[in-house]
Structure 1
Amino acid sequence: MHVKSDQRTRVIFTLNGRERSGHAEPRMQLSDFLRHEMGATGTHIGCEHGVCGACTVLVDGRASRACLMLAVQVHGRRLETVESLAEDGGLNDLQQAFHNHHALQCGFCTAGILMSCSEFLARVPAPTETQVRDMLSGHLCRCTGYTGIVNAVLEVAATRRQFQEGDTEQENNNV
């Protein structure tokens, strides 16, 4: 339920694990709301037409273009932005792999790509190179040529699988 306050609508939602609220004009894009009202400036605004992918965030766990959603559409929903990826003030495994593989240069597109990769790896734990490239086809990056990004995603997938297999092996030994 939206509570009206003059022309602005109160929006209550979960942002990066914390319940938040703010007020948005009825036609305010989610990308503008996140940056200007919530201070989540990691979400970049590129084309504003859903083509470049720079504004990708997770809405209820699914990669979504923040420039194609209105802020009022996230009322009662769960959002994650690139700020949610950091672990204890440091890089998470995906961010570190991007760093290690030189998968970013200017960095403008990186936040959106990281969010799409996060959602993708949660759905597809053992991707092929073709699957990774297909997922990346919704993002425009003028700097990297995508090879470093693909290598980073494949490395993280392999490392996570090894870690999970180690956990499963450990559980079997404890039985």
Structure 2
Amino acid sequence: MPVEWSSFPPELLLAADRVVSIGTVSESLAPALRIGWMACPPRLAGRVAEQKHRGDRGTPALDQLALAVLIESGRFDRHLRRMRTTYAARRTALLSALAAHAPGLRVTGLAAGFHAVAHLPAGAVEQDVVTAARERSVGLYGMSAHRASGAASPAQLVLGFGNVGERAVGEGIAAVGRLLTGR
């Protein structure tokens, strides 16, 4: 659906002829919707729209209209405020569980988003920790899968907490705490 530049906040328009802004509702609303947006310089809009169409034949109009109604009615903003509280509680649960069950583990990447990066101790093998965690029914993911090179060093894990309740976060970290610290 074409969007007029005038509908974007002023901070996105400071260099509208050179800046591309990309967003999605996948994490904040529903991954299955696969709805996102891209505000790009007008000179690129036609080519971007063409590539989008070639790549996936477009997003269903009904989904886009439903999202538009949510945004225009203010319900999307209310949903975001409610979810920020939920995610903050999950983040706190993760940090508390790590402090209790994996003290000293360096964790970064918590300023925003639904993931943290756990820096495993020297000598740890990322895939061995992932495999051992799965044997304990805990899904951990190695950072190597997210690196262009696929390198497993340094050994790091992606700890997702966006779709896991507070109790499950605590139980999961309790089950793998020793794996994370090498104790």
Q: Shared fold by TM > 0.5?
A: no
Q: Which has the higher contact order (CA 8 A, sep 6+)?
A: 1
Greater share of residues in strand: 1
Greater radius of gyration (CA): 2
Greater share of residues in helix: 2
